[in-house]
Amino acid sequence: MDVKLFNQLLSAGVKAQASDIHLKSGTPPLFRIDGRLREIKAPKLAPEDTRSIVQAILDAQVQKKDVDAIQELDTSYLLPEVGRFRVNAFRQRGSFEIILRIIPLEVPSFEKLGLPPVLKEISLYERGMVLVTGVTGSGKSSTLAAIVNYINQNARKHILTIEDPIEFLHPDIKSSISQREIGPDTPDFSTALR
């Protein structure tokens, strides 16, 4: 699968309001819509297709890696004016399986996520620790992005995030935001926290 076709597939997933796109050799692409995997009308993917997709994702990275040396990959992929995608690629049965989580270009608000109003107040506390937990797809990343965005709009702070990978992009509004990604920006979480 060439890059143009891959990008068209991602655009179709965004248009279909899928949360995830699953790509595996031996099956056609799958979109997760409303929590259910749905086959799309497309040919079954071959091992060469999934390999070329991983190569396209690697080609877009700052740090170049050899596709044949990759066993697992967690990164992000940007398709301008369409969206960002959190990429999880891994080998299974000798070929790549790729799962792409669609990340909207716009940071969601507390209201859009249906978060309780008290979270706005907690977001502006000077001290303390807040744990955001939940199963895959429950909205942890979106909740954290909404918190960062709210602080950014309402307080003059320095906000440092350490992400694997960076999902939502935050421009400076009132706060100065530094977003560090494991891999391109720092080797690991412990080093980044020093």
The DSSP call for residue 117 is T
Q: What tokens were used for 73? A: 């990959």
Q: What tokens were used for 85? A: 């995608």
Structural domain spans, the chain: 3-103, 110-192
Q: Cβ(71)–Cβ(61) under 8 Å? A: no
φ/ψ of 111, rounded to 5, equals -65, -45
Prediction pTM value: 0.83
pLDDT tens for each residue of 55-75: 999 988 766 788 888 899 999
pLDDT tens for each residue of 94-133: 999 999 999 988 999 999 999 999 999 999 999 988 899 9
Q: What tokens were used for 36? A: 């259910």
- State the CATH class of domain 3-103: alpha beta
Q: What tokens were used for 34? A: 């409303």
Give the per-residue pLDDT at 63.
66
Torsion of CA 23, 26, 28, 32, to 10 degrees: -50
Q: What is the mean pLDDT of residues 164-190?
A: 94
